[in-house]
């Protein structure tokens, strides 16, 4: 009975050493007699006890590695602290195990030295504004260096860049000064635009007022001219009628003179009419009253 129990234990032990179940997204590095034998993929794997052994279990998933914050000196001699994270994936498990003693340590040290080399060639302002460029250059350099280790660098991200406290204060003051400067510029631009708009409004108002005044004067002058023309036409008709009546009546010379002078007197009464009488006619005008009286007596 004891023998059967011991035999059962031996069988279970051999089965445990022989049968291996590899999980999804993992591989086993199998060595036989201390030498690399094969890479066991996901599923059931049979190995020979006491000859084969599992050297390492390698994950094929994308992995992340947080690089400890590192102090880096920029080109303008400012010490900043950079915190970085690396995303990588193992593509050749055998190389990842046999080509380097510790893949994670190798990636970490390589990332630190590369960051110091890249940022050391940049100014502080360029470091803040070129974060995407730094990430890309880091990824390319790390990917080339880790290719022989059976590893692919997918992404490198700089999580944070921390300058010293005094530099931060100076940057905040500079930023506040820039904000104030932009605010003053915007205020000046607004005042300038307001003044220009107001001046243009006044100019347009003055132009419209002048045009309205000119239009009013033109219309007033046109009305006066039309009134004068109407009066002149009426006077002309009146003179014409008097002339035709006198012509029909066949008047003598004295009646013609009297009627002409009466018509001249009526014409001179208009506000817009000016009558110029020759000096030689003043004698006839001076005797106008006497002639008129004589004519009345003769008519009687």
pLDDT digits (tens, 9 = 90+) for 210-247: 888 888 888 888 888 888 888 878 777 877 777 676 66
Average pLDDT, integer, range 68-89: 89
pLDDT tens digit string along 151-175?
A: 999 999 988 888 877 777 776 777 7
Q: CA neighbours within 13 Å on the CB side: how many for 103?
A: 28
Give the pLDDT score at 262.
Answer: 64
Q: Which residue among 126, 144, 163 closes a domain?
A: 163
Task: Give the pLDDT of residue 258.
Answer: 63
Say if residue 182's pLDDT is above 70. yes
Q: What is the CATH number of the domain that holds 152?
A: 3.30.479.30
Is residue 141 located within the same domain as residue 92?
yes
The answer to the question of residue 150 being in a domain is yes
Locate 246 and state its tokens.
């006198």
> Could you report the per-residue pLDDT of 82-124, keeping only the tens digit for each?
989 999 999 999 999 998 888 899 999 999 999 988 888 888 8
Structure confidence by residue, pLDDT tens digits, 240-294: 777 676 666 655 566 656 666 665 566 555 554 454 454 444 544 455 455 555 4
Task: Verify that 215 and 144 share a domain, yes or no.
Answer: no
Domain assignment present for 79: yes
- How many domains, the chain? 4
Cβ count within 10 A of residue 96: 20
- Look up residue 85 and give its two tokens: 């994270």
Residue 242 lies in a domain: no
Summarize the confidence of residues 186-204 as an average pLDDT: 86
**pLDDT score at 183:** 82
Q: How confident is the model at residue 209 (pLDDT cuts 50, 70, 90)?
A: confident
State the average pLDDT over residues 21-32. 87
User: 261 or 64: which carries more pLDDT confidence?
Assistant: 64
Provide the token pair at 136.
């890309």
Is residue 33 classed as helix, strand or coil in its secondary structure? coil
- Collapsing DSSP to helix, strand or coil, 267 comes out as helix
**Pair (53, 73) in one structural domain:** no
- The 10 Å Cβ neighbour count of residue 251 is 14
Task: With beta carbons less than 8 A apart as the criterion, state whether 36 and 94 touch.
Answer: yes
Q: What is the mean pLDDT of the chain?
A: 79
Query: Domain containing 54: what range?
Result: 2-59
- Residue for token pair 């036409």: 233
User: Are 176 and 199 members of one domain?
Assistant: yes
| pTM listed for this prediction | 0.54
Same domain, 154 and 187: no
Same domain, 112 and 181: no
246: in domain? no
| 20 located within any domain | yes
Please state, in angstroms and rounded to a whole number, the distance separating the CA atoms of residues 267 and 261.
Answer: 10
Q: How far apart are CA 289 and CA 245, in angstroms?
A: 23
Q: What is the pLDDT of residue 54?
A: 87
CA–CA separation, 139 and 155 (whole Å):
6
Residues 115 and 34 in one domain: no
Q: Are 145 and 132 within one domain?
A: yes
Q: Are residues 196 and 117 in the same domain?
A: no
Is 6 in the same domain as 22?
Answer: yes
**Greater pLDDT, 275 or 31:** 31
Tell which residue, 283, 295, 234, 286, has the closest CA to residue 259.
Answer: 295
Q: Quick check: 14 pLDDT over 90?
A: no
pLDDT at 200: 87
Asked if residue 30 belongs to a domain, the reply is yes
The neighbour count for residue 169, using CB atoms within 10 Å, is 11
What pLDDT is recorded for position 294? 47
Are 157 and 112 within 8 A, CB to CB?
A: no
Q: Report yes or no on 220 lying in a domain.
A: yes
- pLDDT at residue 74 is higher than 70: yes
**End position of a domain, from candidates 233, 265, 282:** 233
Residue 243 lies in a domain: no
């Amino acid at each position: 009975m004891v023998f059967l129990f011991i035999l059962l234990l031996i069988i279970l032990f051999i089965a445990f050493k022989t049968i291996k179940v590899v999980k999804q997204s993992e591989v086993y590095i199998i060595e036989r007699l201390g030498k690399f034998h094969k890479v066991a993929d996901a599923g059931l794997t049979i190995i020979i006890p006491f000859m084969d052994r599992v050297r390492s279990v390698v994950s094929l998933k994308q992995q992340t590695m947080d690089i400890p914050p590192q102090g880096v000196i920029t080109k303008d001699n400012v010490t900043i602290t950079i915190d970085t994270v690396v995303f990588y994936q193992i593509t050749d498990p055998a190389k990842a195990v046999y080509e380097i003693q510790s893949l994670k340590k190798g990636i970490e040290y390589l990332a630190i030295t590369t960051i110091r080399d890249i940022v050391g060639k940049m100014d502080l302002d360029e470091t803040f504004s070129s974060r995407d460029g730094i990430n890309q250059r880091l990824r390319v350099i790390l990917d080339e260096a880790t290719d022989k280790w059976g590893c692919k660098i997918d992404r490198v991200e700089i999580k944070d860049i921390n300058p010293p406290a005094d530099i931060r204060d100076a940057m905040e003051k500079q930023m506040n000064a820039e904000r104030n400067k932009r605010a003053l510029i915007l205020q000046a631009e607004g005042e300038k635009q307001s003044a220009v708009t107001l001046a243009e409004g006044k100019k347009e108002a003055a132009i419209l007022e002048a045009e309205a005044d000119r239009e009013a004067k033109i219309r007033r002058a046109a009305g006066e001219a039309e009134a004068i023309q109407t009066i002149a036409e009426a006077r002309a008709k009146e003179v014409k009628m008097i002339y035709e009546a006198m012509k029909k009546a066949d008047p003598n010379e004295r009646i013609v003179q009297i009627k002409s002078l009466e018509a001249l007197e009526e014409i001179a009464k208009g506000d817009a009419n000016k009558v110029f009488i020759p000096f030689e006619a003043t004698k006839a005008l001076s005797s106008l009253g006497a002639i008129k009286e004589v004519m009345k007596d003769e008519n009687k």
